[in-house]
Structure 1
Amino acid sequence: MSAETGSPRLEVASEPFASAAPSSMPYPAGSSLESLRVDLHAAWAVPAEAVERHEGLVAASPPPAERSPEQRAEIATACDEARAQRVRFMDEHADAVYDVLTGGRTAHPRIAELVEAAAAEFPGLVPTAGQLAGERARAQAGKEGQEIDQGIFLRGVLRSPVAGAHLMDAMLRPTPEALERLPEFGRTGLLEMESVRLERRDGVAYLTMCRDDRLNAEDEQQVDDMETAVDLALLDPDVRVGLLRGGEMSHPRYRGRRVFSAGINLKKLHAGEISLVGFLLRRELGYISKIVRGLRAGPGGAWHRPLIDKPWVAAVDGFAIGGGAQLLLVFDHVIAASDAYLSLPAAQEGIIPGAGNLRLGRCAGPRISRQVILGGRRIWASEPDARCLVDEVVEPGEVGAAAERIVRRLQGPAVVTNRRMLNLAEEPPEEFRRYMAEFALQQALRIYGEDVLDKVGRFARPAGRGPS
């Protein structure tokens, strides 16, 4: 098979995949990882004292909702000092910390594994699994906001051109779930998951979002399933193009109708089940990045093509709200029904719409991006401005046929290389890395903002979010 007509056949191995990150060590020649570890623990001793003071105050106080104004003020002051110390530590030592946690960048942990390793190696730098489990058991408004400390840590890692590039590369590797399911999918061409159905037909991977009772509102399960589906579509050498569409709904207001996505599941957010690492960051650095940049190939990959990338088509029925609209910004061709609309109401909800702030202005221009993100403007597929976001508008009953026509067109020999070069020009990996570094911290702060806690606390719809 040529380099341009599809994926090379891979012998997918379980050993670490080759890394595209630099191999030079960012610490003095002749020093060892063990001596580096000793130095870092000495450097962490002073910040750790501030962390212990804050944690001691929290342990001696009642839950957040029951604290007196004086207790809240004292804890807030101690918390600010501890976080300032964490920021300084990561600003000064991010590369060294990352090397200790990854064995000199010989291991390739995903973000969840990385923060878990950091909690074990540097107590207090990020919350432990036990602390996070305790937080997760509480509603969002009752949490201490310990995920903010994860945001500080990951901001420090992602700001580094060395550590950040290595982490981004690690997130482009196939998930264990996808590798386990690959042989079966190769044989059957079909995979049914809780929130996504994947089917291969005539060289096309059909991904259907099927959370029919909640309008495809996104949660951590959907991120899991979407990444598995994207990985399999990219790994399967018989797939040449991917197509994403929403399935038919059982939700009372849209029963029997297809819907693309209602965005983040606000019921899950209120319940404390939308996490910074497991949802907000993994979504951006995981399957969405794989759609843009491709999948890191294993030892059997071609020397001239370390990333397996393929063209992607999105077909929009009903609406693409929030995260659904964000997805459209990375697809190579978007088809929408004439009665569909797009919106990014994250600012109204108090959060950041993923990488939408980075990508929407490039597609639609700065004025429209501000109207949509800051002002909450909906863009209907029938509007002239929708041409910045949608390639083709058809009657609702013609979406499927239009999508079939486009997936055939995008299987041409030169499509893969040209879309790769377009993505490289439009969104260089370094630009995306710098954005995600700041996003890691700012989104963590936003999900614990008082305005967000107030809004999600009032959220009472029983099945995800309908269009707003």
Structure 2
Amino acid sequence: MSITETGVAVLFLNRPHKRNALSQDLIDELTRALHELDRDANVRVIVLTSVGQSPFCAGADLSELAQISTAKAHRIGWLKGLEVGFATVRKPIIAAVRGFAFGGGFEIALMCDIILAAADAQFGFPEIKLGTIPGAGGTQRLTKAMGKHKAMGLILTGSPTTATEMERFGIVNKVCSAEEDVIDESMKVATTVASFSAPAVALAKQAVQTAEATVLNAGLEIERALYYSSFSLHDCAEGIAAFLQKRAPNFEHR
């Protein structure tokens, strides 16, 4: 983990010998780190990627999954902590995907707010080949993002797809060329977002998440309430004043 002077934290999935497969220990470490960064006032944006040249994430650790029965899965809430860990972070999370994001790795990317991918990156849900299904929100988020039929095709065949295809369907924000480093490009986006008012960014993230989780009329009401609440921010007053005075705003993140 590292934190830049611009308020960007880079968080690494660090289990390269297992292709960053999701063990319970890795899940616990990841969610704990996200919680710490969310509480750190010096951090305004989080970039999540893989360590070294390792792939983003191969999915669930099958050696652990093989030991989990239906009863045990319900008892320990297998993968639920991962979902809750991401859902409670108010700061934007940018996924910088190299290699591949399969199964739970793809689900982690979908939990992030922005996804950048290397040109040769691949995404997919191979769970059907193992006699199971995605279990950390993959069936829901992918269907909402790209529609029933395309999601069915990926989930029911277990076939991987390219970063370019995911960009075409609006899952990936940018496919980085061979000449571009995906982490560098993600840092540029993160630095831009971190330059804006942190509380306003948090409100914007909450409003967009509401659109994913509720019907339009309810979402509009919540968006309006969040919009009105931004009027009390010091940064909102500063942003409007700066625009009227034709100068750059000086956001204090309050």
Tell me if TM exceeds 0.5. Answer: yes
Which of 368, 378, 381 matches 2:160? 378
Which of 308, 332, 335 matches 2:116? 335
Q: Is the 8 A contact 1:379 1:386 kept in 2?
A: no
For 1:291, give the aligned amino acid.
Answer: F
Task: Say whether 1:321 aligns with 2:117.
Answer: no
Task: Say whether 1:241 aligns with 2:241.
Answer: no
Q: Is the 8 A contact 1:380 1:386 kept in 2?
A: no
Task: Say whether 1:420 aligns with 2:215.
Answer: no
Q: CA–CA distance in 1 between the matches of 2:21 and 2:154?
A: 20
For 1:292, give the aligned amino acid.
Answer: A
Change (3 A) 1:350 1:370: same
Task: Say whether 1:352 aligns with 2:133.
Answer: yes
Which of 408, 431, 435 matches 2:191? 408
In the TM superposition, structure 1's runs of 4+ consecutive aligned residues that sit over 2 Å from their partners are 198-202, 267-275, 281-284, 286-294, 382-388
Change (3 A) 1:278 1:381: farther
1:416 partner SS: helix
The two structures have a TM-score, normalised by structure 1, of 0.42
Q: Superposition pairs for residues 389-400 of structure 1, below 5 Å?
A: 389-396=171-178, 397-400=180-183
Change (3 A) 1:418 1:393: same
Change (3 A) 1:342 1:401: same
Which of 8, 13, 29 matches 1:209? 13
Q: Is the 8 A contact 1:220 1:278 kept in 2?
A: no
Q: Superposition pairs for residues 30-69 of structure 1, below 5 Å?
A: none
Q: How many percent of aligned residue pairs carry the same amino acid?
A: 28
Task: Say whether 1:366 aligns with 2:148.
Answer: yes
Q: CA–CA distance in 2 between the matches of 1:351 and 1:400?
A: 32
Distance apart, 1:388 and its partner CA = 2.3
* Matching residue of 1:438: none
Q: Is the 8 A contact 2:14 2:50 kept in 1?
A: yes
Q: Is the 8 A contact 1:292 1:423 kept in 2?
A: no
Q: Superposition pairs for residues 99-248 of structure 1, below 5 Å?
A: 198-202=1-5, 203-248=7-52
* Matching residue of 2:222: none
1:268 partner SS: helix
Distance apart, 1:201 and its partner CA = 2.3
Change (3 A) 1:278 1:403: farther
CA offset digits 1:110-156 (Å, max 9, x no partner):
xxxxxxxxxxxxxxxxxxxxxxxxxxxxxxxxxxxxxxxxxxxxxxx
Q: CA–CA distance in 1 between the matches of 2:166 and 2:204?
A: 27
Distance apart, 1:386 and its partner CA = 4.6
* Matching residue of 2:245: none
Task: Say whether 1:259 aligns with 2:55.
Answer: yes
Distance apart, 1:260 and its partner CA = 0.1
Distance apart, 1:377 and its partner CA = 2.5
Task: Say whether 1:276 aligns with 2:69.
Answer: no
For 1:406, give the aligned amino acid.
Answer: V
Q: CA–CA distance in 2 between the matches of 1:346 and 1:416?
A: 34
Superposed CA RMSD in Å reads 2.3
Distance apart, 1:210 and its partner CA = 0.9
Q: CA–CA distance in 1 between the matches of 2:82 and 2:167?
A: 28
For 1:207, give the aligned amino acid.
Answer: L
Distance apart, 1:384 and its partner CA = 6.4
Structure 2 unpaired stretches of 5+: 215-254
CA offset digits 1:13-69 (Å, max 9, x no partner):
xxxxxxxxxxxxxxxxxxxxxxxxxxxxxxxxxxxxxxxxxxxxxxxxxxxxxxxxx
CA offset digits 1:76-101 (Å, max 9, x no partner):
xxxxxxxxxxxxxxxxxxxxxxxxxx
2:16 partner SS: coil
Q: CA–CA distance in 2 between the matches of 1:272 and 1:345?
A: 18
Q: CA–CA distance in 1 between the matches of 2:26 and 2:191?
A: 27
When Rg is computed on C-alpha atoms for both structures, the one with the higher figure is 1
Q: CA–CA distance in 2 between the matches of 1:327 and 1:394?
A: 19
Q: Is the 8 A contact 2:167 2:173 kept in 1?
A: no
